[in-house]
Amino acid sequence: MAAGDTKSEHKPKPFIGVRFDCCNVYMRIKLNRAGTAFVGWCPRCTKRAEVKVSKSGSKNPFFVAT
Ligand SMILES: [Zn+2]
């Protein structure tokens, strides 16, 4: 019974976890609107990270942004 939680996501995985190698920090980044890639920024140096969605399906639970 969560208040204000009537709108749910269609996509099963709206975000993934990535490790920013630049600052060695772990963070979640979100799927973009097109649904083609996960995009986020390093919380420390604001470096942009982009992980393309694999059509074949990735088995990796997280990615490393280099
Ligand atoms: Zn960084």
Q: What percent of the chain has a predicted confidence (pLDDT) above 90?
A: 47
58 within some domain: yes
28 within some domain: yes
In the chain, the number of structural domains is 1
How many Å apart are CA 35 and CA 24, to the nearest integer? 26
66, exposed or middle or buried, with CB in 10 Å at 0-12, 13-18, 19+? Answer: exposed
Rounded to the nearest angstrom, the distance between the alpha carbon of 8 and the centre of ligand 1 is 31
pTM above 0.85, yes or no: no
66 vs 50 pLDDT, higher one:
50
Question: Which domain covers residue 41, as residue numbers?
Answer: 15-65
Rounded to the nearest angstrom, the distance between the alpha carbon of 25 and the centre of ligand 1 is 7
Exposure class string for 11-50: b at 16+ Cβ within 10 A, else e: eeeeebebbbeeeeeebebebeeeeeebebebeeeeeebe
Rounded to the nearest angstrom, the distance between the alpha carbon of 40 and the centre of ligand 1 is 11
pLDDT digits over 23-50, tens only? 999 999 999 999 888 999 999 999 999 9
Rounded to the nearest angstrom, the distance between the alpha carbon of 48 and the centre of ligand 1 is 9
Q: Is the separation of the CB atoms in 27 and 60 below 8 Å? A: no
55 within some domain: yes
pLDDT at 53: 82
Rounded to the nearest angstrom, the distance between the alpha carbon of 24 and the centre of ligand 1 is 7
